[in-house]
Amino acid sequence: MPADPHAPDASSTDAELRLHLVRHGRTVYNVERLMQGWCDSPLTPDGEEGVVATARWLAQVPFVAAYTSPLGRTVRTTELLLAEHPTVRPVELDGLREFGFGDYEATSEAELFATVDPFTMFGSIVGGTFEGLAGGETGPAFRTRVDDAFGEIVARHPDGGDVLVVSHGVTLAAYLAVASGLNLADVDPLRHGPLENASVSLVAVDAARRTRVLDVNAGPWTGRAPGVAGGPGA
């Protein structure tokens, strides 16, 4: 009899925590290429469709909990994802919100990137050294709150299980850098490539809080079941 394609892979244990990290669906500002950190815009119709497809792909994952950034785009994404898991009630964590771009919120990417190299900027944001934009968040403050948020999630689930975490591109990239064991003083923000909207990255955390990145940028388009390792971080 063939193995259940949705079963955890053989390397997982009963006490292992599996964090399914989902970037929010495509938004109006994503389409318009505007900086979107603490500001917000709604999911587009095709953005919602993409999330629904991911929700169906994750339907057989036995989530024991769900956490989301409090921003509207992530809250809506979480709502659509949990339509397949009606007994799970999401918890909003402020530490999961996106990096704050200050005075550049809702301005064009081109305007910001004319003043700062995006690769350098995002690398120092993820690495926790960015001095910040005018009116915005600093890299150290960002790293601290992201680390604290994921530390809280892990602490809440000592018995392991599958947990959904819905957040943002830079925030999830920051956690994936830590989970990969990268040297944050010399981090490549695009090591895993830019995270796609409605994509799923999978991190396993053992009882000693050691982490393994099992998959990155996965989804129904991969042609394989969730929880089956195959991403560049595996």
Is 24 known as a binding-site position? yes
Is-contact 38 104, C-beta < 8 A?
Answer: no
Is 104 known as a binding-site position? no
Is 27 known as a binding-site position? yes
Residue 188 backbone dihedrals phi, psi, to 5 degrees: -95, 110
Is-contact 204 214, C-beta < 8 A?
Answer: yes
Is-contact 192 217, C-beta < 8 A?
Answer: yes
Is 29 known as a binding-site position? yes
Residue 44 backbone dihedrals phi, psi, to 5 degrees: -75, 165
Is-contact 89 66, C-beta < 8 A?
Answer: yes
Is 28 known as a binding-site position? yes
Is-contact 217 205, C-beta < 8 A?
Answer: no
Cβ-based neighbour number of residue 114 at 10 Å: 8
Is 67 known as a binding-site position? no
Is 23 known as a binding-site position? yes
What Rg, from alpha-carbon coordinates, does the chain have?
A: 17
- Amino acid of residue 64: V
Is 85 known as a binding-site position? no
Is 30 known as a binding-site position? yes
Annotated binding site: 23-30, 73
Annotated binding site for substrate: 23-30, 73
